[in-house]
Amino acid sequence: MNDHKNQPDKTIYPIIRPYGEYSILLQWNPEISVKTHQEILMWEFALKQNPQIMETFSSFHELLLVYQTIIRDFEVEKENILKEAKQFQSTKGILSKCIEIPVCYEKRFGYDQEDVCRLLNINEEELIMSHASREYRVFMIGFLPGFPYMGFLPEKFRIGRKSDPRKRVEAGSVGIAANMTGIYPVVSPGGWHIIASTPVPVFFPQEKVPCLLNQGDRVVFRPIEMSEYEQMAFQVSQGTFNFNSLVR
């Protein structure tokens, strides 16, 4: 039951293999799809209830389980994991929220817009309208703490990373690369094409829940003018910004 095939209960079963003395790795087909990703999140949700599992780490098509103690019998533990898959039907529909991210596409923020448009043979208005008119899914948090990998971009707007990465990308910068869009949570070097910026921070290292966006969340971008950007940035700096207003 662990050969990537759909079973009669509609669950997509992964390959399950040992990963060191304390961990087990679950692997689905190496593709990026909403269906597979939703299954991974449901497995993770159910398996987190196991008190023997200390941490879980999920990505586009893998889920790593880290146990409190050494795994003495892998085959027994694999069977336990498969039994817990039966809980998945009750977890559907409770794993995500929709977040509206205000974004300013002014040239002072979107300093790669001209290059992107030239490479894709489109105009800037078309780029902005397309980027802001879609709903994205957060597939993974990685590269930097709080950096959301969100898909998908339209097929014709897919572009490789910059051949010469920038040494400094500002926090809040919104970039695109391949079929994904992302938000830089902190100042960092980076190779994504920057097309906009948000005044809303997406990473809070001192908080119990440090990320504004989490895997499975749905995200939409709302274009804003510079005046609204500056107003929101001021509210954030003063601690008066209402983050609950972002939830749709």
Helices (H), 48-201: 74-84, 113-120, 124-132
Fill in the amino acid letter for 216: G
| pLDDT tens profile 16-43 | 999 999 999 999 998 889 999 988 998 9
Q: CA-CA distance, 2 to 9, in Å (whole number)?
A: 14
Mean pLDDT of 232-245: 97
| pLDDT tens profile 169-218 | 999 999 999 999 999 999 999 999 999 999 999 999 999 999 999 999 99
Q: CA-CA distance, 198 to 159, in Å (whole number)?
A: 21
Q: CA-CA distance, 248 to 236, in Å (whole number)?
A: 19
Confidence at residue 11, expressed as pLDDT on a 0 to 100 scale:
67
Would you say residue 130 has pLDDT above 50? yes
Beta-bridge partners for 53: 67
Three-state DSSP class for 215? coil
Q: CA-CA distance, 214 to 198, in Å (whole number)?
A: 17
> Which residue, among 206, 193, 187, 216, has the nearest Cα to 95 in the 3D structure?
216
Q: Is the pTM of this model over 0.95?
A: no
Contact 248, 239 (CB under 8 A): no
Residue 114 DSSP code = H
Q: CB-hemisphere CA count at 13 Å for 134? A: 19
